[in-house]
Structure 1
């Protein structure tokens, strides 16, 4: 994403946070971190977004960490494995009936698998209440659940990168595959 995406992503995050508040849930302040990374030349992190093709409306965004040296909860052995971390994900509440999380998961898995040196794992941390959704609907595997001082009970999940021949038909990627 570029700084041109800052305004629509800011709106998406604000709407998502309002949606959470109306349901008695809270955001963990990740929105500000996402916004701070947009357009920054950081080699190990990229803000990715899912945009509707016909009008460019932002449907979701995440941060993709391609160098995960210190992520809370993962063991030293797990962190030595080549891992990409998907974090700070936000989806637009107006499209909650659409499979935004599934599309983003499918794209990240396909994109990672197509790299010359793909990671062994894609990993994420999710609130424990979302484990069933991530496992049953998005194909993530539960590794373990732990207590985090800031967010409470979190579940560490992972999945292997996987090429999907259908992904390019559904999702156009503007991020090139890295040349080795």
Structure 2
């Protein structure tokens, strides 16, 4: 059974293991490495107000982690969208050998968001990789809001979903 909980300084060894497996997988598959792993670790070691690291655990094993921020996203979103209550996901890492783990993780985060004192209207994220954006949209029921072009490379894909999966167009349980 999966459990979502805050990732704390006591969990640094588990997070380091997860990030190492993820970075090895990216390297073995010729995918670009980013600084997001160190940014997530920094967030655990040096907490920032308003942003928390959340992990998904399978028993004692950390199998996914990301940063959650209760604030409107800025880059690429309109002023009206920025004013809407949102839970912004970033710095996501999952075990590469666990297919479809992202969908399960987001489902848990939907339940987490619904239980907040002031539940957000939207859960939002930005995906840089076309394949990730396509996976979130086609397999997990996220709604692509728009793409924002970058001068050097792929576009940023802005995605959102209502905090309650029952409100998504395909009623996906992701």
TM superposition score category, shorter chain reference: 0.7 to 0.9
Cα gap change, 1:16 to 1:39, in 2 (>3 Å): same
Q: How many residues align?
A: 159
Unaligned runs of 5+ in 2: 1-6, 167-174
Residue 109 (structure 1) shift: 0.8
Say whether residues 1:2 and 2:8 are aligned partners.
Answer: yes
Structure 1 segments of 4+ aligned residues over 4 angstroms from their partners: none
1:59-138 mapped onto 2 (5 Å cutoff): 59-68=63-72, 71-95=74-98, 97=99, 99-126=100-127, 127-138=129-140
TM superposition shift of 1:149: 5.3
- Quote the residue 1:178 is aligned against: none
Aligned residue for 1:155, secondary structure, equals strand
Partners of 1:122 and 1:149 in 2: how far apart?
27
- Determine if contact 1:148/1:154 at 8 Å carries over to the other structure: yes
Q: 1:151 to 1:113 in 2, by over 3 A?
A: farther
Counterpart position of 1:58: 62
Displacement after TM superposition at 1:39 (Å): 4.9
Deviation string, structure 1 residues 17-74 (Cα, Å, up to 9, x no partner):
1111111111221011100111544331110011112xx1111101001123x53211
Q: Which residue of 1 aligns with 2:36?
A: 30
For residues 149 and 10 of structure 1, what CA distance do their matches in structure 2 show?
33
User: Could you say which residue in structure 1 is the equivalent of 2:172?
Assistant: none
Distance (whole Å) between structure 2 residues aligned to residue 42 and residue 21 of structure 1: 29
Aligned-CA RMSD value: 1.9
Q: SS at the partner of 1:12?
A: helix
Local SS of the residue matching 1:20: helix
Provide TM-score, normalisation by structure 1: 0.80
Contact 1:111 1:163 in 2 (8 A): no
Q: Deviations over 1:119-160 (max 9, x none)?
A: 111100112222221012212100011124577322100000
Decide whether the 8 Å contact of 1:139 with 1:159 is kept in 2: yes
SS at match of 2:149: strand
- Is there any run of 5+ residues in structure 1 with no aligned partner, and where? 165-180
